[in-house]
Structure formats: C-alpha cells, structure tokens
C-alpha cells in the first residue's frame, strides 16, 4: 500500500476558490435584506467579476505547478510576500522573536 499525503490547504491552487472568495465579498457588499435581494446580489456579483480577474487567478495558480510537480514546499504566505523578515509578520504567527514583539513595537508598554 502506498500512502499519499494531501498537501496543506492551498486555495491559491484552485482558481475557483479565488472566484468564490471574491464573489462572496461582492454579495456581502450588496447587504441583501431578503431572499429576492439576495438572489439579485448573487447575480450582480457574478457580473462584477471580470475575465481579467479570472485569468489572473489562473496565472497565479499555474506559477506553482512546476514546484508542485517537484514536490517543493509551496506554502503561500501573504505575510511572507509583504514582510520577508519573519520578525515583521503581523498575522499572529510566531516569528524568530517567539511572537512576543514586532519590529517597531515598544516592550515597555
């Protein structure tokens, strides 16, 4: 028997996940108060998402395919893109400083 492990949660590899995320927020922005307005918001949200957005989500996912095939770590950490220095991460992940202080914070407070 061969055991194959599933990768960690990777919505960025599934462009439909990106679509549903964007669509959900667009529906939410309509602040529907009843079923009829909700159905209208859902339909309008589909119209609000552009082909360019969908192509962007596909391009983004495809950039990871060679690394997936090579079985590399493909973790997509937004903070890593914004703050390459792990000590500057702001999402609550533990950095090199044990998650206690972030650069620019005073420890005397």
DSSP labels for 29-87? HT---SHHHHHHHHHHHHHHS-HHHHHHHHHHHHTTHHHHHTT------HHHHH-SSGG
Q: How big is the CA angle at 77 (ends 90 and 5), to the nearest 5 degrees? A: 135
Longest Cα separation, the chain: 57
Q: Which residue has the higher pLDDT, 97 or 75?
A: 75
What number is the average pLDDT over the span 73-88? 59
- pLDDT for 70: 87
Q: Where are the domains of the chain?
A: 11-79
Place of tokens 């669509």: 23
- pLDDT for 53: 94
Q: What is the pLDDT of residues 16-68, one digit of tens each?
A: 999 999 999 999 999 999 999 999 999 999 999 999 999 999 998 898 889 88
What the block records as the tokens of 91 is: 């999402």
The model carries a pTM of: 0.58
């Amino acid at each position: 028997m061969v055991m194959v492990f599933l990768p960690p949660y990777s919505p960025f590899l599934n462009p439909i996940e990106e679509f549903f995320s964007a669509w959900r927020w667009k529906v939410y922005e309509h602040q529907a108060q009843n079923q009829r307005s909700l159905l209208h918001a859902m339909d309008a949200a589909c119209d609000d998402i552009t082909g360019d957005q969908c192509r962007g989500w596909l391009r983004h996912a495809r950039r990871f395919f060679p690394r997936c095939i090579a079985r590399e770590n493909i973790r997509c950490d937004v903070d890593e893109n914004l703050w390459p220095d792990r000590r500057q991460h702001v999402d609550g992940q533990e950095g090199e400083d044990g998650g206690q202080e972030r650069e620019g914070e005073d420890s005397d407070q």
